Structure formats: structure tokens, C-alpha cells
Amino acid sequence: MNREYNLIIGRQAVAGAEGTFNVLNPATEQPVAASPQASLEQLNQAVEAAQTAFESWKLSTHAERQRMINKIADQLEKRADELAAIIVQEQGKPMFLAKAEVGGAIAWTRATAALEVPVEVIEDSDSKRIEMHRKPLGVVGSITPWNWPLMIAVWHIMPALRAGNTVVCKPSELTPLNTLILGEIINEVAPAGLVNIITGESRLGSAMTAHPDIQKIVFTGSIPTGQAIMANAAPTLKRLTLELGGNDAGIVLPDADLDAIAMPIFQTSFLNMGQTCAALKRLYVHESQYDALCERLVAIAEQQNVGNGAEEGVTFGPVQNSKQLNIVNELVEDARDNGAQILTGGAPAEGSGYFYPPTIVAEISDGVRLVDEEQFGPVLPVIRYSDVEDAVRRANANSNGLGGSVWSSDIEQAQRIAARLECGTAWINNHAEILPHAPFGGCKMSGFGVEFGLEGLLEYTSPQVININKG
């Protein structure tokens, strides 16, 4: 706790008007640093600073925006080691994964800078020309979660800036530190007020979603919070992009090569200790391969080195917070009570830290909470099926619809099945692969709107049609 963190309002470092709160290291349960607690008045000041900055930024050229965002990427590269270390301390993931998060954030920043905003010509005749232009919205409110705190802040902020908007960002109070550093980095090269960072409890987020001077909210998080945001935003008809997590199903077809797919299935199920919205969270396996795949997954799970992400050789860190640890434990205990077999793991580690080993649960089916609900942690239920049609039906019989996958040696057959999955992205022989040039978003209760690529960028704009009579 040897450095001071401040809010960033109008490019100024500002102490929290309501004091500070401690940010805990989930591996030790000890404070990492004190984060500033912003007041509602400071939120208003941040929005006002963003409004003022918007008046000039909306007139900036695309080239100016691209240059500035690339300069931000340059500064991120210079402080990559510092950012990775902070992510390990406040989020808990192993260092190799924190470095991947920082590297991904830099790559996403550059990819966003490179996007071009088109002018669509609808008609160009002798008498008329009609063009559709894209204009920035104004102040964008970003509310980010605790699982990929730097990466998701970049996902929210960079397209907003690229489209000509300004930003007020509130990170999760569990992982605010790297976002405050991101704000410092951005404000080394950005005009005053372009990006403002406030930190504190959830009432700040509620106030943002109802704020009359915020034109759009982009949110990544839980379904109940997304529903509350939608209700709060209704009176002002805010634009919304809501990525509300999922309970992604994977279907392993009878012809799948188990030796080829076991490791990718494990990695995409337990990515970030399972704390990833698009992780594989329900695995349907044909009865002919069920036992053999379970054995392979257990072997991989037992090879993991669970511990403090800052220590060398650790491959598997803690759950980020005690509340989530309790949810994971509760779901596993419920599965055990309902006759499921815990093949490996299945209980929190003793001692300090929110550690839960990678856990494979077998002989479980739909109707049990661990299958029906998103566990968002290091547990994978493996469900036996005998008929592919039944597996597709069961995969779709869930209110979530973020991602899904099909695992098979027959790509054409896998494509036919993948096309029937009710989800925003369907992967074949992979899962949870998110790319800066491929739109990503959910359907059903997993939210609406997309991020990434041109489609994601256009979500930060409003169309304006210019209708020219040539006389």
C-alpha cells in the first residue's frame, strides 16, 4: 500500500470526497491499496467535464482520434509490467494470464484505432444524393466488472473515443486500481475531460445509469444489474450495450478426437479460473465417450498448480472474492446433495485466500443448479447424452444465450449443429475465443448489442441521413 490512488476528473487527480476503501488481494485477503470513494457530486463533476470535452472532441477528425488512441497504446506498452503486477494483486489471476490481459488490451487499443467509420451512399442519381453519416453520441458511461478489469475497460473506452465520444468510467470496487492507472495513462495524451475515472460503491453506477447527461451506458456484468440498468435508463432513453454473462454449453459429438479436444475444453472452461462470461460452463458428452473424456479432464485438472498468482509456477489462482467463492461452493454442494459425483476438487482450500481447485463434476444433468445456473467459477459439470437432437435441445433450454460450441472431427456436421444453437457466438472445436475484428454479443438474457469490429464501433454512434437535392 505504498502508492496513492486518485479519481481522475477533467484530467485532474482528485481525492475521493467520501474517503477511501481497501482493495483486497484475493490470494491473501490482505489490502493491496486504498482506492478513493467518490461522491455523487464528484460523479456530476466527471460528467460535466466529459460534456465540456465533447464539444470540441466531436469535431475532431478520424485521423486525430486514431493518432491519439495509438499514443495511448504506446503508453500502455511502456507500463505493461506495472499493470500486470497490479492485476495479479487485485484480481488474483496468475502472472502469465495478467500479462496476456495487458497484451490483449494493447492489441485491442491498436485494432480499435485502425477501424474506419464509413459514409454509406444510399443514392447517387442525377437529381439526388443521399448519404448516411455516423455521429458521436456524447458522454458514454462505462461500468466494468472484476474478472478482466483492464481488458474490459479498454473494450468500453477505446471505441467510445474512436467514435468521437467522451467517457466516464466506473470500475468494479473490487478491482479499481488498474483502471485508475489506465486513466492516468490516457490522460497523459488525451485532452482534459475526455476520459474520467470514478471509483466507489454500486450507488455510483446506479446514478450513472439514470444521469440525464449520459447518452449511453455500456455494461458488462450480471443479469440482475443489467435489468436494473435498463429500468434506470428508460426515462432518458439511453443507448445501451449490455453483455450480461452466459451459461455456455458445449456439445461433444461421438466422432470427436478426445486427445485433441481435452486440453482446449479444459482451458476454455477454466479460463481465468472459470471467471469469464464466455467460458464453457456446461459440457454435453455422448455416452460412448463420456467416461474417457472425464478421465482426461480430471488428469489435466490435477496437474494445475493452485496458488498466489504472483508466485512462479502457479497456473491456477484464487476466485476473486468471498461472495463468488461462496456461490461456487454452494452450487457444488447442491450438486453433491443431488447425487452428482465430484471427480476432483470440490471444496475450498484451507487457510487464507479464496482458493477453489479446478473441479470436474460428473453424473449430473439439467434441473440441478450447477447446470441450470451460471457458476462463474472453477467448476465444470459434465452431462451425459445419448441423442444429439436431445443434446441440442438441452443446450438451448436455458435463458442465457452468450456462446456455445460443438466439438467434432466432422466440420460440416458441426457447422449444422452450431447454427442451431441459440447464442450470439457458436465456436467449432474451440470456445471463448474473442477477437477484436469479430463482433461479440449475446441474445436472450445474455443481453443485447455487440462489441468489437465495425459493428461494435457503430454502437457508439447515431446515424444521420443527409438528403441532397441537386436541383
Distances (CA, A) of 331 to 28, 191, 326, 359, 373: 24, 48, 9, 12, 9
Annotated active-site residue in 90, 101, 169, 277:
277
Give catalytic status of residue 243 as yes or no.
Answer: yes
Q: How much is the mean pLDDT over the chain?
A: 97
Annotated active-site residue in 90, 101, 169, 243:
243
Question: Domain locations in the chain?
Answer: 7-244+446-467, 248-435
**pLDDT digits over 263-287, tens only?**
999 999 999 999 999 999 999 999 9
- Name residue 130's beta-bridge partners: 123, 467
pTM, two decimals, is: 0.97
Query: Buried b / exposed e across 211-233, counting CB within 10 Å, b at 16+?
Result: beebbbbbbbbebebbebbbebb
**Of the candidates 390, 394, 393, the residue with the CA atom closest to the CA atom of residue 381:** 394
pLDDT of the residue at 460: 98
**CATH class of the domain comprising 248-435:** alpha beta
What residues contact 408, with CB distance under 8 A and at least 6 apart?
A: 252, 253, 255, 256, 414, 417, 428, 429
Identify the DSSP state of 307.
S
Query: Does 85 have pLDDT greater than 80?
Result: yes
What's the rounded mean pLDDT across residues 303-324? Answer: 98
**Domain 7-244+446-467 annotated CATH 3.40.605.10:** yes
3-state secondary structure of 434: coil
**Of the candidates 452, 460, 425, 454, the residue with the CA atom closest to the CA atom of residue 104:** 452
**pLDDT digits over 193-226, tens only?**
999 999 998 899 999 999 999 999 999 999 999 9
Residues 387 and 113: their CA atoms lie apart, in Å, by 47
pLDDT of the residue at 320: 98
What's the rounded mean pLDDT across residues 67-87? Answer: 98
**pLDDT digits over 401-452, tens only?**
999 999 999 999 999 999 999 999 999 999 999 999 999 999 999 999 999 9
Give catalytic status of residue 443 as yes or no.
Answer: no
CA–CA–CA angle 378, 379, 385 (5° rounding): 150
